Amino acid sequence: MTATLTSLHIDCDFDAGNIQVLDASDPCRVHLAIRPDTHSDHFQWFYFKVSGLTPGQVHRFSLDNASQSSYGNAWSGYQAVASYDRNDWFRVPSQFNGQALSFEIQARETEAWFAYFEPYPRARHNQLIDRALQLPGVELLASGRSVQGRDIALLRAGDGAPGKRKLWLIAQQHPGEHMAEWFMEGVIDRLQSNDSVIRQLLARADLYLIPNMNPDGAFHGHLRTNFKGKDLNRAWQDASVEASPEVFFAQTQMQRYGVDAFIDVHGDEEIPHVFTAACEGNPGYTPRLAALEEQFRTALCRLTPDFQTTYGYTRDQPGQANMTLACNAVGETHDCLSLTLEMPFKDHDDAPDAVTGWSGKRSKALAGAVLETLAGMTGALR
CA distance 81 to 103: 9
Binding window for ligand GEM (CB under 6 A); candidates: 64-72, 123-131, 195-203, 308-316:
308-316
Sheet hosting strand 9-11, strand order edge to edge: 9-11, 47-51, 111-115, 81-83, 89-91
Toward Zn ion, which CB reaches closer, 62 or 340?
340
Applying CB under 5 A, does 174 fall inside the site for Zn ion? yes
Residues constituting the chain: 382
Among 350, 371, 367, 349, which residue's Cα sits nearest to residue 79? 349
Toward ligand GEM, which CB reaches closer, 14 or 71?
71
CA distance 89 to 361: 10
Chosen from Zn ion, ligand GEM, none, partner binding at 340 (C-beta under 5 to 8 Å by type)? ligand GEM
Positions 268 through 307 that interact with ligand GEM (CB under 6 A): 268, 277
CA distance 216 to 177: 13
Toward ligand GEM, which CB reaches closer, 114 or 275?
275
140: CB partners within 8 A, 6+ apart: 129, 133, 153, 154, 155
CA distance 121 to 182: 10
Among 174, 199, 45, 195, which residue's Cα sits nearest to residue 117? 45
Among 244, 253, 340, 373, interactor with ligand GEM by CB under 6 A: 340
Toward ligand GEM, which CB reaches closer, 347 or 372?
347
Applying CB under 6 A, does 342 fall inside the site for ligand GEM? yes
Chosen from Zn ion, ligand GEM, none, partner binding at 280 (C-beta under 5 to 8 Å by type)? none
Minimum gap (Å) between residue 158 Cβ and ligand GEM: 28
Residues 216/148, Cβ–Cβ less than 8 Å: yes
The dihedrals phi and psi of 6, each to the nearest 5 degrees, come to -60, 140
Among 171, 191, 259, 325, interactor with ligand GEM by CB under 6 A: 325
Binding window for ligand GEM (CB under 6 A); candidates: 16-24, 26-34, 72-80, 313-321:
313-321
Chosen from ligand GEM, Zn ion, none, partner binding at 260 (C-beta under 5 to 8 Å by type)? none
Applying CB under 6 A, does 233 fall inside the site for ligand GEM? yes
Binding window for Zn ion (CB under 5 A); candidates: 37-45, 110-118, 167-175, 200-208:
167-175
Applying CB under 6 A, does 174 fall inside the site for ligand GEM? yes
Applying CB under 5 A, does 42 fall inside the site for Zn ion? no
Which residues belong to the active site? 342
Applying CB under 5 A, does 266 fall inside the site for Zn ion? yes
Residues 146/246, Cβ–Cβ less than 8 Å: yes
Among 22, 51, 313, 382, interactor with ligand GEM by CB under 6 A: 313
The dihedrals phi and psi of 262, each to the nearest 5 degrees, come to -140, 130
Toward ligand GEM, which CB reaches closer, 338 or 378?
338
Minimum gap (Å) between residue 277 Cβ and Zn ion: 10
Residues 342/271, Cβ–Cβ less than 8 Å: yes
Q: Give the count of beta carbons closer than 10 Å to the beta carbon of residue 142.
A: 18
Chosen from Zn ion, ligand GEM, none, partner binding at 316 (C-beta under 5 to 8 Å by type)? ligand GEM
Toward ligand GEM, which CB reaches closer, 202 or 223?
223
Positions 23 through 42 that interact with ligand GEM (CB under 6 A): none
Toward Zn ion, which CB reaches closer, 299 or 327?
327
Burial (Cβ within 10 Å: 0-12, 13-18, ≥19) of residue 54: middle
Burial (Cβ within 10 Å: 0-12, 13-18, ≥19) of residue 169: buried
CA distance 168 to 36: 31
Catalog residues that contact Zn ion under the rule CB under 5 A. Answer: 174, 177, 266
Catalog residues that contact ligand GEM under the rule CB under 6 A. Answer: 174, 233, 266, 268, 277, 313-314, 316, 325, 340, 342
